[in-house]
Amino acid sequence: MFKLSCSTAQISLHVLLFFVGINCNTTDQQQEDRWTENSLFERVFQPENDTSDEGIYEPSDSTLLGDGKNPEELAFDDNGQVSKDGISGGTFVTIRTVPYLAQLIEDGNQVCGGSIISEKWILTAAHCLEDAGELEIRTGSSLRNKGGKLYPVAEYIVHENYTKVTFDNDIALIKVNKSIEFNELQQVIRISYREPKTCDKLQLSGFGKEGQDLPAPNRLKSAQVPVIDHTECKEAYKQLFLFEDYIGKVTDNMFCAGTEGDDTCQGDSGGPAVVNDKLVGVVSWGIDCGESGTPGVYTKVRNYRKWIADNSDVEIKY
């Protein structure tokens, strides 16, 4: 069980996509099969009669939203209108607040998130690309599966040491076939040179579900969760699974975020985890939503700076 003592931590609940539900009464092989099946990502389809995005103004130029307020201060309410009021379970925001966020589209449906790290390269999770179909990248949109710009995928590179059972080295690069046009809705995020520290406020963003039996919102959401102590996170999962080199092992290529007892869900798989406007993590894995002692686990981007530079045209200063 982990403990959190961040006196200033502000937790937003019920946010974004959860990944895995594991029944600890199953056999090891059944558990492995279920983990492999359920942990990749969850395809979420928009109902044909869903009109929850009606009334949303999706800007295509540099004009501000609403009455000219700073776009970072604005969010949408349940009626799709611009509002400053936060919503329980995170806040509806515009893409202007997180212009580095990309959507990974497979066979026409959003399946994962990603981060824009250069004109042609997106950083995401390796498990998002297992058995991948026809892929595109959507950028610059506050909506799921519509708006913004679409870029066909030219190639993708999965880390050569990615292990799909343990999720170690869960990182991948996607190259689009033409340069992304940068503006206030589509921007690069810089890769952090430092590791996230305990109690850092981790910003998550994406289009994931608010709960297992709830539909995913069609609008972009954002939330903050605190980074937790690495040793305590490792111990929490070790106690849960009671084996060392199997699922549930938190390696030195990972870090954890969340809070004990609160019903938090992780960001869209492959999506950005950001501290102080710099990319520190990629959303990787977790056990259900709201399970006490099982925080979300993220790939530690700092450990892969050289790998990213060696496999792309991204310039990283050391």
Q: Are residues 156 and 202 in the same domain?
A: no
Co-location of 229 and 296 in the same domain: yes
Residue in 14, 39, 127, 141 annotated catalytic: 127
The total domain count for the chain is 2
What are the b/e assignments for 263-302, b being 16+ CB within 10 Å? bbbbbbbbbbbbbeeebbbbbbbbbebbbebbbbbbbbbb
Among candidate residues 143, 109, 111, 146, the one with its CA nearest the CA of residue 129: 111
249 found inside a domain: yes
- Supply φ then ψ for residue 145, to 5 degrees: 65, 20
On whether residue 19 sits in a domain, the answer given is no
CA-CA distance, 306 to 318, in Å (whole number)?
Answer: 9
User: Do 225 and 194 share a structural domain?
Assistant: yes
What pLDDT, on the 0 to 100 scale, is given for residue 265?
54
The Cα 36–Cα 32 span in angstroms is: 6
Q: How confident is the model at residue 224 (pLDDT cuts 50, 70, 90)?
A: confident
Compute how many other C-beta atoms are within 10 angstroms of the C-beta atom of residue 118. Answer: 17
Whole-number pLDDT of residue 185: 97
pLDDT at 259 over 70: no
DSSP reduced 3-state for 204: strand
Has residue 8 been placed in a domain? Answer: no
CB contact burial 134-163 (16+ within 10 A = b; e otherwise): ebbbbbbbbbbbebbbebebeebbbbeebe
Q: Of residues 168, 170, 200, 229, which has the active-site annotation?
A: 170
pTM of the complete model: 0.76
What's the CA gap between 111 and 28, in Å, rounded? 28
Confidence band for 55, pLDDT divided at 50, 70 and 90: very low
Instruction: Give the domain CATH number at 209.
Output: 2.40.10.10
Among candidate residues 142, 269, 284, 312, the one labeled active-site is 269
**Residue 315, number of CB atoms within 10 A of its CB:** 7
Whether 269 is catalytic is yes
- Residue 127 falls in the annotated catalytic set: yes
- 87: in domain: no
Looking at the domain assignment, is residue 119 inside a domain?
A: yes
Q: In the prediction, which pLDDT does 28 show?
A: 44
Give the pLDDT mean for 95-99: 96
Asked if residue 131 belongs to a domain, the reply is: yes
DSSP strand E in 18-158: where?
A: 75-76, 82-83, 91-92, 101-106, 109-116, 121-124, 135-139, 149-158
Average pLDDT, the chain: 73
241 backbone dihedrals φ, ψ, rounded to 5°? -100, -25
**What residues make up the domain containing 127?**
99-188+306-310
